[in-house]
Amino acid sequence: MTINKSYIVNEVRLQLHDSKISDSRITAWINIAQNRVVRELDPKFLTDTINIPTATNSRTLYVEASISKILAVTDSTSTRDLVEISDRDIDLIDPDHSSTGDPTHYSLQGVSEVSAQPTAAATITVTGINAADTTQTLVIRGLLSNLVVSETVTLVGAGAVTTTQTFDTVIGARLSAVTTGYLTLISNTITPVTLVTIPSGKLSMQYQPINLWPTPSAVNTLRIKYIRQPRQLILDNDTPELPVEWQDLILLCTLQQAHEDKYEFDIAKDIKTEFDTQVKRLLIAIDGSRNNTRRVKGSIIRYHGVTYGRLPKIIG
């Protein structure tokens, strides 16, 4: 049976004996759980590709972070596959990052909330387009001379507001509430840089930074093959973008997070153990399906006297 968001929400409330947990809170748990299942099971049916041009003398690319895992990076211009390497190894090879040419290696960074950086220390101008956007605040976090700095600005509707704080690196930009119109953040450098555009309906953006080595000396096209994140479950009837036999893992992982939030760590630990066991069994089934066919059916799991749905059980 295919489950939907409404089913998971109701099941969480039932299993926790708590009807007052907000829908938005459970929805957040569900989507975190779905992304975790994807990371664990590495589904090839979510594979996609994107072509991105490099920029001369810029070593970092920012890819909008619907990416769960990068599988390969290829320079289509030089017809070369790039090799993944750690930033630490790049620093050992080229401490000042002065090497230039066609990239041969790449490294991955944590998620960024901006898609570009100021070219020098500067204030930031935040521009909105909708007159109704006057109650929200925007927190900008960053660095100045390696010291953490931040500033909170209040939106002024269809107009612009400029920070008093200067930033040479921007770490993040996050709204207190969604806006009706989009926002644009631009650094006030000699050559202005658009740092990020936040569309209506979002509190922030997320990008996957990719560092290239050596630093590109020309504009090449990189083809990135990746496993994308599944579509988020927002509406009651939204169903997971995963096979039916994987879907109970979303419920299991959601329940683990719910119990952790309620400080019921013993139950959460038992659920995590079962989750890990079921993931291992599914991985064996996925690998074995290339040579023979296995079928998956549900089983009932109980912890501390509480029943937790039908979980996948491998039958040889």
So where are the chain's domains? 5-43+242-315, 45-109+209-228, 124-205
pLDDT at 313 over 70: no
Predicted confidence at residue 65, as pLDDT, reads 65
CA 129, CA 185: separation in Å to the nearest integer?
12
pLDDT at 83 over 90: yes
Predicted confidence at residue 129, as pLDDT, reads 96
* CA distances (Å), origin 5, targets 68, 228, 257, 269, 312: 21, 20, 16, 24, 19
Q: Encoding tokens for residue 23?
A: 């829908």
Closest CA to 176 of 151, 157, 154, 161: 154
Average pLDDT of the chain, as a whole number = 87
Convert the pLDDT of each residue in 69-82 to its tens digit: 889 999 999 999 99
CA 210, CA 116: separation in Å to the nearest integer?
12
Task: Report the percent of the chain where pLDDT is more than 70.
Answer: 90
CA 264, CA 266: separation in Å to the nearest integer?
6
Predicted confidence at residue 314, as pLDDT, reads 35
Q: What is the largest CA-CA distance in the chain?
A: 66
pLDDT at 297 over 80: no
Predicted confidence at residue 288, as pLDDT, reads 65
Convert the pLDDT of each residue in 171-228 to its tens digit: 999 999 989 999 999 999 999 999 999 999 889 998 989 999 999 999 999 999 998 8
Q: Is 167 exposed, middle or buried (0-12, 13-18, 19+ CB in 10 A)?
A: buried
Q: Encoding tokens for residue 61?
A: 């690319």
Q: Is 307 exposed, middle or buried (0-12, 13-18, 19+ CB in 10 A)?
A: exposed
